Structure 1
Amino acid sequence: EFGTYRGGGYVYEFRGRLSDMKTNLSKLHQLDWIDEKTRAVFIQLTLYNPSVELLTAVTLLAEFLPTGGVYTTSRFEPINFYTFTSILQLVCTIFYIFFIIYFLIIEIRLLFELRLKYFRQFWSIIQLGIIGCSLGSIGVFFWRFQEANRISQLFEQTNGYIYINLQLAVYVNDILTFLLGYCCFFSMIKFVQLFRFNQRISLFAETLKSCAKELISFSIMFAVVFMSFLSLFYLLFVSKLSSCSSLLATAQMLFEMTLMKFDASQIVGADAFLGPFCFTLFMLLVVFVCLSMFFSIIIDSFRHAKQNQKEDQIMLSFMLKKFLRWTGLKRLNQEEIQEERDCRMRSQYVNPIETFSDRIDQLLEAVDKIYIDQKRELSRLEKVGL
């Protein structure tokens, strides 16, 4: 929290019986092993639960501040080196690897066909993210498997009587977790493309697509305004508010103010005039003006996307609705029943004026057909000589 510490320093390993360790600690205390020049003390230990075969890397840290205080932190990182817990998990993993290889071949072909145009497509970037994270996860998984074998062999050779450093194993496990998390993230976004025939999801995608340029312009403008307020609040209240002690903390405070989840009494207490003035100015420009512009862009794009909705999406929604009604999975409410009755009544009792134009078109088509037939008959008779 207060500094970065390298790998150097003095090391003492706890070994032997409890009485021996207490004696050694007393000797370290007598020799002033921790003195006024000490900046941090790390206590690292590894716990093992044989019933569930779970290892836990524990790190306890005590930082000695220049002001004389001591700040303590702790970190517990459980690690499970189980490779596969069932045959089903192994089979699913193998199928997943084959699917990734298959999609990788498809994307390579598309890359050679489209070249630079390939990277201009949004879904191509998502597909590359899925494939890249998946391949990275496979590589890191084998790395973790190798590290687990090394730790198991070391544990078997020493019977657990020495300290086994799990920092590398924790690091590898964190990388694997991050890659799997991003892979799931890109996969969830991919579902938007797979469900593109759904009316609501297609509206969502079309809305974002139509307002992309406006959102980019708005983001630049909002970033300039937000950075100006960030500088203002940081310079004015850095020595008065703990929430403005750093630029990151100040940005977090401003986002909380944007979401209307901030206690304004802190700013008022920091300065009687500048606090309320800056707070009011931020609320007017950012919350009322900028957010109103943002919502206006989204609403206008949504209206435009709804007007230009594709016909196949409407037909698919209609077919799905009819299928649910036919199977009985969805029951009609009173409004829908009344609407169907009105449609049937309108289809049975049609105003003749409404069909007048269609009748005229049919009459003209019939006259035109008779005229063409007569022309053909006259031309045939002329050829015969009658």
Structure 2
Amino acid sequence: FAEGPLLDGLYWDTWYNNTTLTFQNNNSHIYYENLLLGVAQIRQLKVRNNTCSIYPYFHTLLEDCYSEYRYRAEDRSNFGLWNKSEWKYTSASSLAPWYWGSMGLYSSGGYMFTLPKSKQESVEKLVFLRNNSWLTRGTRVVFIDFSTYNANLNLFCTVRLVVEFPATGGAFTSSHIYSVKLLRYVTYYDYFLASCEIAFCIFIIIFIIQEVIKIVKLKKEYFRSAWNWLDLLLLVVSILAIAFNIYRTVKVSQLMEELLSDAHAYPDFYFLAFWQVLYNNMIAVNIFFAWIKIFKYVSFSKTMTELSSTLSRCAKDIIGFAIMFFIIFFAYAQLGYLVFGSQVEDFSSFQNCIFTQFRIVLGDFNFETIEAANRILGPIYFITFVFFVFFILLNMFLAIINDTYSEVKADFEVIPSQELQLRDLFRESCNKALVKLKLKKPEMDANLADESTESHAGFSCDFFFFKPSAAERSHLKLSKLQQEKEELHPSTEDTDLVTAQSYVSTAEFQQLFRYTAELAKELNNTNAKLRKVIKSVQ
């Protein structure tokens, strides 16, 4: 393969009509558009002899024994023609990523060499290594790495061709291709993205300052909120993403300088491509949690409050159910692994058994394979698993959530609706922003109706939204209740003035109504707690 198809794919020297191509600096253009960066590198990993045990009966028949690849069994001694680098073990840096193959986890070092720029010289070198047995019985994996650059799309493509040699004999091939954009800032759109990245960095700095202020104010109370832990997670992931972005830009510049200085060297763009993929995964997780954070700001919706209350109230029941579910689930997974593991690929490992059983629950499964593997236990396994897991356990899970949701919905129907209108939320947020900008005097009265009447003297706005934090809401709620209680129970000095009035104003009626609603809410919460206590006693 290396002497034929590999070299034909790396060195494109003829056009489609068989005319000879001439490129600058003897460079190769794969598929005529992808510039081969530097040269390709071939690397192998071996294991030592006698790294496994031979049964005594076969000592007279077998002398050598090479185990499957393990890091401790790796052979690092020189062999063959010691005077050349391809026969000497080369260690890799500690930051170089290991390769997780189909047969094992492989380190980054090994015996390696690079191919020349000329196709004819590459053929001669491969023939020389084959004649001198560069590959041995102890060889467990061979890596072929090279990188290309497509100027039309401004994309780097790092290619890794892998051939694994398991201890059972034979060869297992695979390939990994990473197409990444390592040169970020080329077009005007790229510079626009750069400005967005700068704005993101500024936002992260402001976010860090806000979180530090919260930690200083709340201290230990800050870490008791799950939303605060989510904010810290978003901050950490964002900081790591920014740091890698800077490192990636610097490292690409260094690699390009080395490549331009020595065109016969192998540029290790696989290292950057691998971490670029991890960077993309990290950004994906960050965006996922950023979307989850939206639930923090939609608690004014009655529907969302009902859903969150349902999940929080049935959490203990779900945990208890999950323990019972996974006991039965893992029992069936162990049964499937032991019965069908040697004959059915979907049950070849315990991990595959778990994924296969999830597919059975979803209806995606080939029953004929396990029936052919064992005509007695196969149908018994399938029928009982579907009956217990699908028909009984899953319906129990749905019954737990449905029963809890019915209770929560009944409780919310008794409690008066305390949802804030969006118009009131916008007004409250705008007024607070105007106060901070010193465009409006601060008002001590928290009543939204009073704020709307008093705001005619200055600026006002009804089109912005503000969502106070949990600590601020609880503080405002307590102060508001205290103020309403004082207004409902005035001092003796003001009794004459109150009795002199023969009517109740709209603002006073709203205060009375809100206070009554708060009392009703507290009473319902107490009743719910009493019901739980009675249930536990029964």
Question: Match of 1:69, SS?
Answer: coil
Candidates 172, 176, 196, aligned match of 1:71: 172
Counterpart CA distance in 2 for 1:272 and 1:87 is 65
Alignment of 1:15-164 (within 5 A): 15-84=116-185, 85-158=189-262, 160-164=263-267
Counterpart CA distance in 2 for 1:27 and 1:82 is 38
Deviations 1:261-304 (A, max 9, x none): 22222222222222222222212221111111111122123223
CA-CA distance at 1:7 after TM superposition: 3.8
Counterpart CA distance in 2 for 1:161 and 1:9 is 20
The aligned counterpart of 1:263 is 366
Letter in 2 for 1:208: L
CA-CA distance at 1:34 after TM superposition: 2.5
CA-CA distance at 1:315 after TM superposition: 5.4
Counterpart CA distance in 1 for 2:109 and 2:205 is 45
Deviations 1:166-223 (A, max 9, x none): 2321233123212211110110101122233344434333332222222222222222
Number of residues paired by the alignment? 319
Pair 1:218–1:56, CA change in 2 (3 A): same
Pair 1:167–1:254, CA change in 2 (3 A): same
More helix by share: 1
- The reply to whether residue 10 of structure 1 matches residue 116 of structure 2 is no
Letter in 2 for 1:37: G
- The reply to whether residue 169 of structure 1 matches residue 275 of structure 2 is no
Maintained 8 Å contact 1:15/1:162: no
Alignment of 1:153-232 (within 5 A): 153-158=257-262, 160-232=263-335
Letter in 2 for 1:241: V
Counterpart CA distance in 1 for 2:381 and 2:281 is 39
Maintained 8 Å contact 1:199/1:314: no
Maintained 8 Å contact 2:183/2:252: no
Maintained 8 Å contact 1:46/1:58: yes
Question: Match of 2:111, SS?
Answer: coil
TM-score (norm: length of structure 2): 0.55
Letter in 2 for 1:10: Y
Candidates 413, 417, 420, aligned match of 1:311: 417
Pair 1:270–1:38, CA change in 2 (3 A): same
The aligned counterpart of 1:357 is none
Maintained 8 Å contact 2:337/2:349: yes
The aligned counterpart of 2:384 is 281
Counterpart CA distance in 2 for 1:117 and 1:223 is 35
Counterpart CA distance in 2 for 1:184 and 1:108 is 22
Counterpart CA distance in 2 for 1:156 and 1:51 is 20
Counterpart CA distance in 1 for 2:220 and 2:325 is 31
The aligned counterpart of 2:510 is none
Alignment of 1:353-372 (within 5 A): none
Question: Match of 1:72, SS?
Answer: strand
Deviations 1:332-385 (A, max 9, x none): xxxxxxxxxxxxxxxxxxxxxxxxxxxxxxxxxxxxxxxx99xxxxxxxxxxxx
Maintained 8 Å contact 2:164/2:172: yes
Pair 1:82–1:17, CA change in 2 (3 A): closer
Pair 1:16–1:90, CA change in 2 (3 A): closer
Q: CA RMSD in A?
A: 2.5
Deviations 1:112-167 (A, max 9, x none): 34444433322122212211111111111111122112112112222x43210123
Maintained 8 Å contact 1:140/1:175: no
Structure 1 alignment gaps of length 5 or more: 320-371, 374-386
Letter in 2 for 1:58: V
Question: Match of 2:266, SS?
Answer: coil
Question: Match of 1:311, SS?
Answer: coil
The aligned counterpart of 2:346 is 243
Pair 1:10–1:315, CA change in 2 (3 A): closer
Q: After TM superposition, where is structure 1 displaced by more than 4 Å over at least 4 residues in a row?
A: 314-317
The aligned counterpart of 2:74 is none
Pair 1:208–1:250, CA change in 2 (3 A): same
Counterpart CA distance in 1 for 2:261 and 2:411 is 70
Letter in 2 for 1:244: F
TM-score (norm: length of structure 1): 0.75
Structure 2 alignment gaps of length 5 or more: 1-101, 426-498, 501-538
Deviations 1:8-47 (A, max 9, x none): 4332211132112122222222222234332222111111
Letter in 2 for 1:250: C
Counterpart CA distance in 2 for 1:34 and 1:87 is 49
Question: Match of 2:143, SS?
Answer: strand
Counterpart CA distance in 2 for 1:137 and 1:48 is 24
Counterpart CA distance in 2 for 1:270 and 1:218 is 33
Counterpart CA distance in 2 for 1:66 and 1:150 is 40
Question: Match of 1:56, SS?
Answer: strand
Question: Match of 2:174, SS?
Answer: strand
Pair 1:260–1:314, CA change in 2 (3 A): farther
